[in-house]
Chain A
Amino acid sequence: MSKSLIHARGLTKKFGDFTAVNGIDFDVIKGESFGLLGPNGAGKSTAMRMIGATSQRTSGDLTILDKDPDKFGPQIRAHLGVVPQQDNLDTQLSVVENLYIYGRYFGLSRKFLKGKIEELLSFAQLEEKRNAKVESLSGGMKRRLTIARALVSEPEILMLDEPTTGLDPQARHILWDRLFRLKEDGVTLLITTHFMDEAEQLCDRLVVMDKGAIMAEGSPAQLIKDYSMKEVLELRFGSERNAHMADDLRQLCDRIEELPDRILMYTEDGEELLERVYKKGFHPKTSLVRRSSLEDVFLRLTGRTLID
């Protein structure tokens, strides 16, 4: 088996005339955690469905576990755990039944599933809801169940499409921790998200996608280094004055981004820049110095914020 578990070249998906994924190239290596980062409509879910060996690609090369999904869909899917963006649980069945039938779809024995289900219930903290109908669960509980369900077959590759949407901060951090541990066990993770902190926390490597294409690729740290500066100074002058101020501030640093509610100034030393701003006689309502993040990388690459 070659080193890359997922290999894509010129991967393309069209819906009629519309190109949702436009010739993307990437490799995911065994045991790594790989992210697709991009705004709404970037084509992340569409790419995930092709990699999940369910949606047929329009063109390009794609192999998963060294197999072509067009020919070996079931054999590939046997080793994938899929958490789709939208929960598609069987709402007529109970929590336990959902885990059970999903395990059966992988051909797992009743005996194996009996133990596995207990483990997953505790993993998802749904022991008390074990016999509740899925219909009656809260959004976050459904999400946790969907994630637990994907683990029933102990997949080689775990694919999570916006996994933490709908989770409260605590459940989110616990999931991150859990994903780390799965990674330690050798599970390869493929994650899409539009949360910067999630991408930075979880991904060894990621691609930034926009409008179906890959804009950049690398580790979070490398991307920040390549496409942004070390620190960001955020200034707010009030929505009317921001635009007006931006022109005057431009002379103080190399790069400046103007957002509707604030101005971002990129620099190696934020505090020092802030001092210069005051010295020049500018008086922002609020100011904040922070480290550059993937959000800034994205802004640089696309001229837009991730979550508008």
Chain B
Amino acid sequence: MSSLQTRQGSLKIVDAARVAARGALFVTEARLRAMVKWLWLIISIAIANPVLYLISIGLGLGSYIDQNTGAMGVDGVSYLTFLAPALLATAAIQGAMDESVYPTLEGFKWNKTFFSMNATPLSGNQIAMGVFYNSLIRTIFTAVLYWLVMLTFGVLDSPRAWFAIFTAIMAGAAFGALMQALAGFLENENVFFTIVERFIIMPLFLFSGTFYPLTNMPIFLQWIGWISPLWHATELGRWLTYGSEISTPMLFLHFIFLNSILIIGLIASRRIFTKRLGK
């Protein structure tokens, strides 16, 4: 270890106010650097995912359904048009989960990087927000790529189809924020993977009116869709992309629900991060 050059000292060179204002972005910058190392994988997932879905479900199941439903289609449109907003939102949610759950487990437990961040002027709130912004970037990236693949497959017949990108991002953001809070809260990551993934996340995907309208589901199961950001985002997306029939109060409800989940998720993340770091 050799000597260091002239020292100015932190009192001169560190500006705590600057960190107070922009700290979350510094966290995002670091997370992005880590994420970029997996870029090839992220791109592969983002492309392979829609390609596989479109081939198997879209073309296989879709043409079968379209043949059997005749000119009326599902909800008055072709099955793929009906499915597109849901698939997009599902992919966005998965992208958001990857970028919020894993970094949170890593930061608190596997590498304890959050503790090293918190030894700097960064606060728990900023660390939580920085991780969230990064997962938002991943969400947007995933949704846009997915949409481009659908475009390439020529399955988007509505001129407004691209609106579904926004509802997908809303779903991803809301779900990601909530899962970030949960991953920070559960000190044992096995609980997350065994219980949360299997008994909370999977049912939400299966019972969110993804593959058929939620109203086709027995009434005693419909509540699962109601609490699922995926269903709300899908409903909004269907309305935006092909004008599915939906009442104005319901539109507001979907919108408010998604934003409430987002806000609750963020507030919870910030509290949980701050509390756990301050132990």
Interface pair B26/A107, CB less than 8 Å apart: yes
Which residues from A are CB-within-8-Å of B120?
A: 77-78, 102, 105-106, 153
Query: B33: which of A52, A91, A93 is its contact (CB, 8 Å)?
Result: A93
Bound together, the chains give a CA A218 to CA B86 distance in angstroms of: 69
Q: Which residue of B lies closest to A104 (CB)?
A: B26
Annotate B10-36 by CB proximity to A: 1 below 8 A, 0 otherwise: 111111101110110011011001100
B23 to chain A, nearest CB (A): 7
Task: Tell me if A239 is interfacial: C-beta within 8 Å of chain B.
Answer: no
- B14 A107 Cβ-Cβ under 8 A: yes
Restricting to A95-109, which residues have a CB under 8 Å from any CB of B?
A: 97, 101-102, 104-108
Q: Is the CB of A101 within 8 A of B29?
A: yes
Cβ–Cβ < 8 Å partners of B9 in chain A: 154, 156, 186
The A-contacting residues of B in range 116-149, CB under 8 angstroms, are 116-123
CA distance A16 to B258 in the complex (A): 37
CB-CB contacts below 8 Å: A78-132 with B: 78-82, 84, 86, 88-93, 97, 101-102, 104-108, 112, 119-120, 122-125
Interface size class of A (residues with CB under 8 A): 35 or more
* B94 at the binding interface (Cβ < 8 Å): no
**Complex contact B1–A105 (CB within 8 A):** no
Find B121's partner among A75, A144, A185 (CB 8 Å cutoff).
A75
Q: Is the beta-carbon distance between A119 and B111 smaller than 8 angstroms?
A: no
Encoded as 1 (CB less than 8 Å from any A CB) or 0, chain B from 95 to 129 comes to 00000000000000001110111111111000000
**A155 & B10 in contact (Cβ 8 Å cutoff):** yes
- C-alpha gap A9/B29 in the complex (Å): 39
**Known contacts being A54-B277, A124-B1, is A112 close to B112, with CB within 8 Å?**
no
Chain A residues near B116 (CB, 8 Å)?
Answer: 82, 84, 88-90, 102
Beta-carbon nearest neighbor of A105 in chain B: B120
Nearest residue, chain A, Cβ from B26? A104
CB B268 to nearest CB in A, in angstroms, measures 19
Complex Cα spacing A153 to B7, Å: 10
Query: What's the least CB distance linking A139 to chain B, in Å?
Result: 15
CA distance A151 to B4 in the complex (A): 10
B5 — nearest CB in chain A belongs to which residue?
A: A119
Question: What is the bound-complex CA distance between A55 and B279, given in angstroms?
Answer: 5
Query: Could you tell me if B34 and A92 are in contact, using CB atoms closer than 8 angstroms?
Result: yes
Chain A neighbourhood of B113, CB < 8 A: 88-90
Considering only CB atoms and an 8 Å cut-off, how many residues of chain B contact the other chain?
42
What are the residues of chain B within 8 A of A54 when measuring CB–CB? 115, 118-119, 277-278
Determine if B8 is an interface residue (Cβ-Cβ < 8 Å): yes
Minimum C-beta distance from A65 to chain B (A)? 9
Contact A88-B26, Cβ < 8 Å, known A74-B122, A93-B34, A123-B1 = no
Q: Which residues of A contact B30 (CB under 8 A)?
A: 90, 93, 101, 104-105
With a cutoff of 8 Å between Cβ atoms, the chain B residues found around residue A84 in the complex are 115-116, 119
Identify the stretch in A174-182, A199-207, A242-250, A263-271 within 8 Å (CB) of chain B at 4 or more residues: A174-182
* Total residue contacts A-B, CB cutoff 8 A: 137
- A29 part of interface (Cβ distance < 8 Å): no
Q: Is A56's beta carbon under 8 Å from chain B? A: yes
Q: A75-B16, A78-B14, A104-B29 are in contact. Are A55 and B278 (CB under 8 A)?
A: yes
- CB of A169, distance to nearest CB on chain B (Å): 13
Q: Shortest CB–CB separation between residue A18 and chain B, in angstroms?
A: 13
In whole Å, how far is B114's beta carbon from the nearest beta carbon of chain A?
Answer: 8
Closest chain-B Cβ to A5's Cβ sits at a distance in Å of 12
| Contact (Cβ within 8 A) A80 B119 | yes
Contacts of A104 in B (CB 8 A): 26, 29-30
Residue A31 lies at the interface, judged by CB distance under 8 Å to chain B = no
B8/A154 in contact, CB under 8 A: yes
Q: Which residue of B lies closest to A72 (CB)?
A: B16
Interchain CB contact under 8 A, B1 and A175: yes
A171 interfacial by beta-carbon distance below 8 Å:
yes
Contact of B248 with A by CB under 8 A: no
Q: How far is the CB of A281 from chain B (nearest CB, A)?
A: 53
Q: How distant is the Cα of A178 from the Cα of B66 in the complex, in angstroms?
A: 75
- Rounded to whole angstroms, the CA-CA distance of A166 and B179 in the bound complex is 37
Query: Contacts A74-B20, A104-B29, A105-B120 hold; do A153 and B10 have CB atoms under 8 A apart?
Result: yes
Bound-state CA distance A175–B118 (Å) is 25
Q: Is A23 among interface residues, defined by CB-CB distance under 8 A? A: no
Contact call A78/B10, Cβ cutoff below 8 A: yes
**A178/B1 contact (C-beta < 8 A), A154-B13, A185-B7 known:** yes
Residue numbers in A under 8 Å from B10 (CB-CB): 78-79, 81, 106, 153-156
Contact between chains at A73 and B123 (CB < 8 Å) = yes
A–B complex contacts, Cβ < 8 Å, 5 sampled: A80-B119, A107-B19, A107-B22, A119-B4, A178-B1
Return the 5 tightest CB-CB contacts between A and B, nearest first.
Answer: A105-B120, A107-B18, A101-B30, A88-B112, A82-B119
Taking Cβ atoms with an 8 Å cutoff, the residues of A that contact B are 15, 52, 54-56, 73-75, 77-82, 84, 86, 88-93, 97, 101-102, 104-108, 112, 119-120, 122-125, 144, 151, 153-156, 171, 174-175, 177-178, 181-182, 185-187
Query: Given contacts A82-B119, A104-B29, A123-B2, could you give 11 more A-B pairs where the C-beta distance is less than 8 Å?
Result: A54-B115, A77-B120, A78-B16, A89-B111, A90-B34, A106-B10, A106-B14, A106-B121, A123-B4, A175-B1, A181-B3
